[in-house]
Structure 1
């Protein structure tokens, strides 16, 4: 009798562990934030936020620049995409540019008014976006690293 109860308990525990591990895997796969980019009338691709280094607005189009050096032109405004991206991670530094703070390596907002990304690209910071950029950078990096 004791053996049967022990076997039943170990079977239940094994099933619970298997179900829990499967549940954990599914949630981990869903947790990575991504955005769908339309590449043609009926096709879209899903791109992880972490792979996007910066965005450039070109009239009613948005150019996405990726960490592997590739770029993609999409026929929607940057404003549409910024509403779907993480507001803490992506910051608009200019009328035509938004950057991913993970790729920021250097910035100067006192004299030259620019940000520099890991790929070496320098992007100017507008006077109107300076305050919002400093606030988001301060929140993202922490007070001691920014000032």
Structure 2
């Protein structure tokens, strides 16, 4: 019996498939989502963050604000200030007050493993 390894390709809608490890940030804007990549230009799709968020549960993504879903692998925990997290490419993102504790906990856990 062959076990299949989990794929890193995520189908965000019928035509859009992305590699989860290349996505740094997802930014919601009403009915559209902008997908930011580590390399390359951002991609805008006509899907809400609420529909995309369950697809990312098997990867290191966390919704840190009503507008943002962050890939924790690209967050720089040494630059986590009161309500701003800085990505490795010096982009600053607002963290909601209610998600700060969970973000800090997940960042500490990801450093342990």
Normalised-by-shorter TM-score class: 0.7 to 0.9
**Do the aligned partners of residues 88 and 134 (structure 1) sit closer, same or farther apart at CA in structure 2, a change above 3 Å counting?**
farther
Determine if contact 2:25/2:70 at 8 Å carries over to the other structure: yes
Is residue 83 of structure 2 the alignment partner of residue 108 of structure 1? no
Q: Which runs of 5 or more residues in structure 1 are unaligned?
A: 1-19
Instruction: Name the structure with the higher helix share.
Output: 1
Determine if contact 1:109/1:125 at 8 Å carries over to the other structure: no
The alignment's TM-score, normalised by the length of structure 1, stands at 0.66
Count of aligned pairs: 112
**Do the aligned partners of residues 64 and 73 (structure 1) sit closer, same or farther apart at CA in structure 2, a change above 3 Å counting?**
same
Q: 1:79 aligns with which of 50, 55, 63?
A: 50
Larger radius of gyration: 1
The alignment's TM-score, normalised by the length of structure 2, stands at 0.83
Q: Report deviation, 1:75.
A: 1.0
Per-residue Cα deviation, 1:36-70 (whole angstroms, up to 9, x for no partner): 133xxxx5132110010000010111110011131
Superposition CA RMSD, Å = 2.3
Determine if contact 1:88/1:140 at 8 Å carries over to the other structure: no
Determine if contact 2:20/2:59 at 8 Å carries over to the other structure: no
Per-residue Cα deviation, 1:72-129 (whole angstroms, up to 9, x for no partner): 111111121110113550011111111101111243243xx21111222100111111
Q: Which runs of 5 or more residues in structure 2 are unaligned?
A: none
Is residue 11 of structure 2 the alignment partner of residue 36 of structure 1? yes
SS in 1 for 2:12: strand
